[in-house]
Amino acid sequence: MDITMSRVFLDEMKKELEILHQEKERIDKTLDDSNDYLEIKKNKGKYIQYYKCSNCMKEGQNKIERVFLKKESIDLARRLAQKSFDKNIYDIIQNKIALIEELESYYVNNNEYELYGDLSEDRKRLIHSNYEDDETYIKRWRQMFLGGSQRDSFYERYPITTPYYTEIGERVRSKSEKIIADKLAKEGIPYVYEPLTNLANKGIRPDFAVLNIRLRKTFFGEHFGMMDVPEYAIKCVEKINKYNELGYEYGRNLLYTFETQEAGLDTLLLDRLINSYLK
């Protein structure tokens, strides 16, 4: 199981635990503390008879006391039958919770993907591992989009001349891109600004490559900043259409934000995008 599947599995266990705890709490509110239960017999194999049974102590011995229930007491029979059924469900749920919590604890405390990251650098150089820890994966992911000399040549042709710098000292082309980059950094979301990708062959240079660490999934991000300028808006629509033609869809592997002179970057929307897709 790769790390993505492992983390999805953990997420599903957490969801299942939440559902089980809610159901356990619901049943717990309906159960009474009495030891009464229902016994059903057939008289001569034909007539059904119901008995309310209780465990009690008589003369120092544990005995069962049976009380025959008449037809007019059928509601009591129903309550006792329901109680017994709910108690069995309650016990099953308790056992499931214990097993899932034990499995969840084992998964969290025995992470094969952290084993390589805990090795010394000298030992790492001697080992090939398919189990990359997050730090190693993020480092390799960044290098994939930085592009080295190709990135340098891009900025020689298209230099950034704006005065906007992110909190980590990276120069960006707009104030809104600075806000986006700073928010990603604050939330611990790995990103590469203006990444080098194979989309360059199609005339597309994304504003951001962003990584969902938990799922190890890459999203490309675009900020369209002058949507009230008709010529600019037309180019943005063309760019989105080109993304779609290449298999990039909003929410699946592409995210974007908009603004106009009247309506700036919606930071609440940015928060929702981060929480919904990048964590």
pLDDT digits (tens, 9 = 90+) for 44-86: 777 889 989 998 767 667 788 889 998 889 999 999 999 999 9
- My answer on whether 102 and 176 are in the same domain is no
Residue 90 has pLDDT above 90, yes or no: yes
Could you tell me the residue range of the domain that residue 184 belongs to?
A: 147-277
Angstrom distances, CA of residue 256 to CA of 171, 198, 250 = 20, 19, 8
Q: Which residue has 């017999």 as its token pair?
A: 41
- My answer on whether 172 and 96 are in the same domain is no
Selection from 191, 183, 182, 257 nearest residue 224 by Cα: 257
Domain count along the chain: 2
Q: Are 191 and 206 in contact (CB under 8 A)?
A: no
- My answer on whether 162 and 267 are in the same domain is yes
What is the pTM assigned to this prediction?
0.69
Q: Are 131 and 113 in contact (CB under 8 A)?
A: yes
Q: Is residue 134 part of a domain?
A: no
Tell me: the pLDDT tens digits for 219-257?
999 999 888 898 999 999 999 999 999 999 999 999 999
d(CA 51, CA 64): 11
* More confident: 170 or 202: 170
Q: Is residue 90 part of a domain?
A: yes
What one-character DSSP code corresponds to residue 230?
H
* Mean pLDDT, range 14-25, rounded to an integer: 95
* Mean pLDDT, range 156-171, rounded to an integer: 93
Q: Is residue 142 part of a domain?
A: no
Task: Indicate which CATH number applies to the domain containing 256.
Answer: 3.40.1350
Angstrom distances, CA of residue 9 to CA of 12, 16, 22, 100 = 5, 10, 20, 11
- My answer on whether 156 and 84 are in the same domain is no
d(CA 255, CA 267): 14
d(CA 52, CA 58): 17
Q: Which of 110, 136, 158 is the last residue of a domain?
A: 110
Q: Which residue has 């504003």 as its token pair?
A: 207
Q: Is residue 84 part of a domain?
A: yes
Tally Cβ neighbours within 10 Å of residue 38: 19
pLDDT at 159: 92
Which DSSP helix (H) or strand (E) runs through 176? helix 175-186
- My answer on whether 164 and 268 are in the same domain is yes
Q: What is the mean pLDDT of the chain?
A: 90
Compute the radius of gyration of the chain from its Cα atoms.
31
- My answer on whether 176 and 61 are in the same domain is no
Q: Is residue 126 part of a domain?
A: no
- For 100-153, the three-class secondary structure string (H helix, E strand, C coil) is HHHHHHHHHHCCHHHHCCCCCHHHHCCCCCCCCCHHHHHHHHHHHHHCCHHHHH
Tell me: the pLDDT tens digits for 124-157?
888 888 888 888 889 999 999 987 667 778 888 8
pLDDT at 241: 95
Q: Is residue 131 part of a domain?
A: no
Q: Which of 110, 128, 158 is the last residue of a domain?
A: 110
In a 3-state reduction of DSSP, which class is residue 2? Answer: coil
